[in-house]
Amino acid sequence: MSDDPGSSSLEIALSLHDEGWLDAVDGLETRAEAAVRTALKLADPALLEAGPLEVSLVFTDDAEQRGLNRDYRDKDRPTNVLSFPNMDEPDETGPVGIPRLLGDVVLARETVLREAREQGKTPADHTIHLLVHGLLHLLGQEHEETAEAEAMEALEREILKVLGIADPYAAQAAREGTHG
């Protein structure tokens, strides 16, 4: 347990559905916990102060992710990360002492590793970026509109910087001739 003020009010349930994650990302559990805590602290600090909170992280494979993507999004293909919010409003309260389930973030190993390789990123950094991205979706962040996307990317950059992870959008911005 850390001395972070929100530590005792946050439970992170990590489910490993694909053992290959253990070889792909050293210190997966520790890195994932740090990412969740940092993202919540920077994106919505009041959420932890509102009482006990639980976040579920599922590390799976492409086959399971494809089924989830098909069943819940009508897209019959694997995807890197899926988010399943459990609360309409992340700051809503529940019964005293019972953790509120923020939702589930599910990552597919083969897709994440392939993308990391294609983008020249480490598997650990890309995994944590996608975990942060998925968590921000649980908090209501979206990227359908340009302004939303820019705000979400800025928050991701801030969180990843605190975690010591290079800006995942820098190479894309350089290719497009933009700054940010």
Global pTM reads 0.86
Cα separation, 150 vs 5, in Å, equals 29
Q: What is the pLDDT of residues 142-179, one digit of tens each?
A: 888 888 889 999 999 999 999 999 999 886 655 555 44
| pLDDT band per the 50, 70, 90 thresholds, residue 87 | low
> Is residue 139 scored above 70 in pLDDT?
yes
> Is residue 180 scored above 50 in pLDDT?
no
In the prediction, which pLDDT does 51 show? 80
In the prediction, which pLDDT does 91 show? 52
- The distance between the two most distant Cα atoms of the chain, rounded to a whole number of Å, is 51
> Which sign, positive or negative, has the C-alpha torsion 85, 89, 93, 95?
negative
In the prediction, which pLDDT does 42 show? 95
Cα separation, 65 vs 58, in Å, equals 10
Q: Under a CB-based contact definition with an 8 Å cutoff, are residues 33 and 133 in contact? A: no
In the prediction, which pLDDT does 171 show? 64
| pLDDT band per the 50, 70, 90 thresholds, residue 6 | very low
| pLDDT band per the 50, 70, 90 thresholds, residue 92 | low
Amino acid at 67: G
97-106, 110-119, 147-156: the lowest-pLDDT one: 97-106
In the prediction, which pLDDT does 2 show? 40
Q: Under a CB-based contact definition with an 8 Å cutoff, are residues 13 and 109 in contact? A: no
* Total Cβ atoms within 10 A of residue 112: 27
